[in-house]
Structures are given as structure tokens and as C-alpha cells.
Structure 1
């Protein structure tokens, strides 16, 4: 009975998460494999191509169907989305379809919409490659966006090949994202571990004061914190000014709009997420363990390495996982503090979602990032003996 009562009280939270988190996320990620633009704009053309193969001549009925779809799509406003989707695979189709749509709507009654009609507008609209792309994009599901997210593409014959060198981008950005996340995670661990140790060894009053300082960044807007680092790290900023006045450098250092600024600003923001799990774990370690190791003849480094560090492993794993997962999804800080070569994958997801409206590619990039994060999390779980999920 008690178990059912607990479940009952959890139902509002579960329902909230399902409605406002799980369902929208699944719906967004489904755009990575769903095709909606072409089926909505060119239903007659797809029906005419249902039994057509690329090695066969394009059926004459496909051209009349294409003209009818253009007239209907112009009224519903769906042709622009379909043209943009087809242009991802076949360059030049977007302008050709826009031109053909205008010519078809101006054509008089009795016009014969055949291959010659469309060939005079643009030969690309009569090519088997064009109709092959239309048919492939007309399926309910497609791997086009997923392949593009890993720098792959399909040939007109349907084979999967690497994208041209000038179009290979996303694997490089993914690697950059993981590299920056690792750098930030290691920086947070290096800075956060001594603070967590200090918290466990200090008096209660001192520990409370340190905790307040650790939590202080949460009381300030992320945008404000990032902007403050721009002021501090610029060539005329406070940090360069102090270093110059102390004679440590001869000229101002470039610490902004590059990888250095991104790592520093992100480390400052994410450091509490490393310290708090570490503090929870280290606080549970009895102090007598180190004294017992010393009494048995262990040197301080040996006692730390053989006794203290293994007991702190769950906190280290939890803090690293938390910081890493938050790092890979960062957008604001790299966008403001980093340069063009320091933008992370989330910036491209945001651009495709709110800028170009390419929801399919945005969803595919998000799905790839999610899969990579899950794989790395499971790897961390395995390497830590299943303790990465534990906070102590």
C-alpha cells in the first residue's frame, strides 16, 4: 500500500516530465527521419512515380502530375518547403522549381505539360536524378538528415558515400564539441577537487562560507557571467592590465574569441557542478581512514592513492559526467566568447532551428549528440565500476 501511495504522489511529476519534456523531445528528434515537405507538396507526382525506377524513362504522367502539384502547392504555400528540401540533395532545384511554378500558373488552358514544356524551363526538372530525389524524399521516413549529420550522402543511384570535402563539416564540429567538453571537465576537476577537500576538512563556519562562494554563480545570469568574462579577458581588460603591470608579459595576451576564452568562461560556470558531487562523496569518507593508513606505514601519497582516491571515485565520476553532459550542450558561452572555429554543435542546432528552418538537420545533429553522450556515459559507468551515477 505504501508503494502505491508513493507512486500516486509521483504521478504529477511523471506527467509533467512526459508532457513537457519527453514528448516534445521525441517529437523534435523524429524530424531526423521523417519526411513531410515533399509528400505534402507533390502527392500526385509521387503517385505517378510509385512504380518508376531510375534506370527507366521518366513516365509522361509524372510531368502532368508535377504541374498539377505546383498549382495546388502555390495555393497552400507548401512548394517553398519542398523545393528547399530537394535542394539539399540536388543543387539548383530550388530556383528551378520556383521558376517552373510561376510558368505553370501563367500557362493557359489546354497547355500540354510534358517533358518538352519543363525542359524549356530548366533541364534539371526533366532529369532522372531530379525525380529520383523526389521519390526518395517522398517516403514517410528517410536517412538523408542522419547521413548529412555524419558527413555522408546518397548518390543518385542510392549508394552511401562520403560527402565532398567542401561539405564535410559536422564530424569536425562534433569532435571539437567533445574536445572542448573534455577540456572543461578536466579543468573543473583540477580546480574543484581541492575545494571539495577543503570543504570536508574545514570548520563548519568556514565550510558554510566556502559553499556560499561556490553557489554564488547560480545567483547571476549566465549571460551576465559570460559578458563579464569578455570584459576581463579582452586585451584592454583587467587580467591583461594586471599581468602587464607586474611585468609578467610584454604585450597583451589574446584570451578572448578563441578556445582559451571558451574554456575559462565555461569552467567558471560549470565548476559548482563538479564541486557539489565531490563534496557529497568526500564528506562521507571517515577521516580515520587516512590516519589508519599512516599508522600502518603508508606515506601521504600512497595513502591518498590507495585509500582516499578509490573512495572518492564515485564523486569524481558523477561530477565529470555532470559537467561533461552540460558542456556538450553549451551554446551561449561559446557563441559570445569563442571565435568562428570554436562554435560547438549546439550552435548549429540553434541556427538550423531558428535561422534557416532546417528542422530535419537540426534534429539529426541533436540525435547524434545525444547518442554520443549516452555512449560516453555508459563507458564512464563501465570504467568506474557502475559508480558514475552515484553521488556518494
Structure 2
């Protein structure tokens, strides 16, 4: 028999609270518990991932060295037309700013920033600041030019004027082999100084080649793992995961030894006759030179990245029922045709996920190209490290990081359009 409703028509919990209210309170309590469990991870991601990216974006466009230390000169240059040399008042402002920067030990910052655009000017700015501190009266124009002829060049003043804001596109443009002209227009840098586009293309090319190699090598192994008996598959999986038992540095060092001239790899080529064949057809002259080459870089990176491509493919293959292939064969399809038209399309989400993961990881490679690659095999990460540790140029390093981040986001966008996160079938 159905229980009769209370006289007021409201269902209540055991404690007398209206049932709707009690359910809302219980749901709110569960949401707070879930938030408490997720909050530490969210805080960790914000502090270790989001904040560094925001700082990198900030440093790539923030440029206060000239604006903070040359306020008088910047104010005087607002009226300068950029054609002839500035007025006497502007030279007087420059003398005052450099003298003040010399006293506060900030003149080196001005010289370092201007040196990014005018090579060799850092020492001249420091020397001018030291002499300007002893300059008591004008005329300042003749005195400053007498200190160094660099101040008689309108390009020097145009550079100071372009650097007069706390915010600048200089670093981003420079990392794309572009620059601002005297009139503020965007132009290409001279061909002998245009290197960063080549570095970006090289980074993308090596990453794409390594991704392709891991796909070619990993796809058949993933298929073998997914279709083998459990005992055999478990044994093979141990060999797949074996590289994770050693650090990336140890694995790269091992490839350094294998790829040395006259090393194990070279001896293998000699014993198998590959060296003789390559010499006979004119592709090589003498003993193989493998160390510090693009070949060594790609081989070492492929070895390291292979499990990252293989495992997502394997996880998707494990979810594909064998009945699909049996049905295709029962309908008259050959094994190859059934695999190509029925099985392979179902593995594409895993292929896309594995290749995306490998490609993105390859974009940030630094240790392996440095140790086994030559000068023409260095990738963007190596130049970021050099900008920070050797040049102390955080703006340049941040700009390179932004370019790498944008390339990754574009790749992810293309991947999401072609495959789509909602269509992934991992696990």
C-alpha cells in the first residue's frame, strides 16, 4: 500500500527537514568534498604551469630598461622627426640620463638592451656614461659626439626612440627574423642575420621526422601486443617499457657511445657490408661519420619517443573487437583489405593521440640534440637555454618560448579539427 502524503503535502526526511532541502544539502556537501580533493592538484597546476607561462608571455613583450633609465632623453625625442640628428636639448638630456645611470650603476642595462639591436654599442654606452658623469657644461652635442661617433648616427637615436616604451614587439619580431624600421614599419632583417626561421623550420622538421619514424616502428608492435596471447603480450610490454627504467640522459649517453666514429654502430655497418655498398654507389666516402649528425639525432630521439607513440595506439587497439575482422573476412574481404578498410580506421584516434604527444615532446628536446647532434641539428630549446645562461636575455628566451607555444597550440587545434577530443577512444 502506498504511503500517504503528509497533511501539508511535503515529503520530509527522518529529521523533519523537507526532502528537497535535504537532498540539496547533501549534493552541496559532496561537491565541496570533490572540490577539496581537486583543489591541491589545481593549485599545483596553476603554480607550476599557468604562472610560468604567464610570466613568459609577460617577459616577451616587457622591456623597461630604456624607459626607466632614460626618461629625459625619451621625452626630448618625442619631438624628433627621425631625419637629422636631434637638438642640443636632446643631447643634454642624454648626458644627464647616462650620468645618472652611471651613478646608479644602471648604465650597463641600457647598453645591454641597445646592444640587442646595434652590435657592439654596450661598451660605448658604458664609456659615454662614465665620461658624461664628469661633464659639467655644454655645448653637449659636440661633447657627446666627441666621446663616441655612434651618437652621430641617426639610427642610434631611432633605436632609443623605439625602445622608449615599457612594452615592445622587438623580441617577438626578432625571433621571426623581422624588425621595426626607422619609421616603425615591419621589415625583414638582413639575410646574414636571419637565422631564427631556419631554427623553427629545423625544429618542426626533426620533430615531424621522429614522429613518422616512431609511427612506422610502433604501429606493427602495437598490433602485435594487442593481438597476441596475454602471456606473450605481457612479456613484450616489458621490453616496450624497459627504456623508462633509465633516465633520458643515460639513454642519450649510450647513443653517444654507439654512434662514435669507429664505434659499435660503425662496426655493424662495416660487418654487414652496408659501408661498402654506400661507398660503391657514391653516397659515402670512407668510414661512416655518424656522431654529431642529423642521423644520430633522429635515431636517438626515435628510440626515446617510441613508447610515447606506441602506447596510445595499443590502448585503442585493445578496445577493437576481433569480430570486426572476422565479419569482414566472412564477407569476402582479403586479410589485407579487411585490415586496411575495417581495422585501421578504428585505430586512427590512437595514432593521432600518439603522434600528437610525440611531436609536442620533440618540439622541446634539448639534451639529445646537444649531445649527439651537430651545430646544424640544434633545436629551439637549445637557443632558449643559451639566451638565458649565456646571454642573460630573458626577453629573447621568452619570445622563443612563445613561438614554440603558439606552434603547439596551432598543432593541437588542427588535431582537434581532424580527430576531435570527443572521438578519442583511449582505454
Larger radius of gyration: 2
Match of 2:416 among 381, 388, 391: 381
Which position in structure 2 is the counterpart of 1:125?
Answer: 151
Q: Relative to structure 1, is the Cα distance of residues 53 and 197 closer, same or farther in structure 2, using a 3 angstrom cutoff?
A: same
Which position in structure 2 is the counterpart of 1:330?
Answer: 365
RMSD: 1.9
Which position in structure 1 is the counterpart of 2:174?
Answer: 148
- 1:365 matched to 2:393? The reply is no
Residue pair 1:317, 1:387 contacting (<8 A) in 2 also: no
TM-score, length-scaled by structure 1: 0.94
3-state DSSP of counterpart to 1:153 = strand
Which position in structure 2 is the counterpart of 1:199?
Answer: 225
CA deviation vs aligned residue, 1:330-351 (integer Å, no higher than 9, x gap): 0110011111111111111111
Residue pair 1:290, 1:308 contacting (<8 A) in 2 also: yes
Tell me the CA shift for residue 69 of structure 1: 1.9
Q: Quick one: distance in 2 between partners of 1:256 and 1:124?
A: 45
Q: Relative to structure 1, is the Cα distance of residues 242 and 387 closer, same or farther in structure 2, using a 3 angstrom cutoff?
A: farther
Q: Comparing 381-390 with 139-148, which one deviates more in the overlay?
A: 381-390
After TM superposition, the structure 1 = structure 2 runs for residues 148-297 of structure 1, keeping only pairs within 5 Å, are: 148-250=174-276, 252-297=287-332
- 1:30 matched to 2:65? The reply is no
Q: Relative to structure 1, is the Cα distance of residues 220 and 307 closer, same or farther in structure 2, using a 3 angstrom cutoff?
A: same
Residue pair 1:352, 1:358 contacting (<8 A) in 2 also: yes
CA deviation vs aligned residue, 1:38-80 (integer Å, no higher than 9, x gap): 1232223223334444247624332222222222222333221
3-state DSSP of counterpart to 1:161 = strand
Residue pair 1:93, 1:125 contacting (<8 A) in 2 also: no
Residue pair 1:381, 1:388 contacting (<8 A) in 2 also: no
Q: Quick one: distance in 1 between partners of 2:91 and 2:345?
A: 71
CA deviation vs aligned residue, 1:277-304 (integer Å, no higher than 9, x gap): 1111110111111111111111112111
3-state DSSP of counterpart to 2:133 = helix
Which position in structure 2 is the counterpart of 1:54?
Answer: 82
3-state DSSP of counterpart to 1:373 = helix
Residue pair 2:291, 2:373 contacting (<8 A) in 1 also: yes
Tell me the CA shift for residue 167 of structure 1: 0.6
Tell me the CA shift for residue 385 of structure 1: 4.8
Tell me the CA shift for residue 174 of structure 1: 0.5
After TM superposition, the structure 1 = structure 2 runs for residues 10-89 of structure 1, keeping only pairs within 5 Å, are: 10-55=38-83, 58-89=86-117
Q: Relative to structure 1, is the Cα distance of residues 3 and 56 closer, same or farther in structure 2, using a 3 angstrom cutoff?
A: farther
Q: Relative to structure 1, is the Cα distance of residues 390 and 161 closer, same or farther in structure 2, using a 3 angstrom cutoff?
A: farther
Tell me the CA shift for residue 181 of structure 1: 0.3
Match of 1:309 among 327, 330, 344: 344
TM-score, length-scaled by structure 2: 0.86
Q: Quick one: distance in 1 between partners of 2:159 and 2:288?
A: 51
Q: Quick one: distance in 1 between partners of 2:246 and 2:139?
A: 64
Count, aligned residues: 390
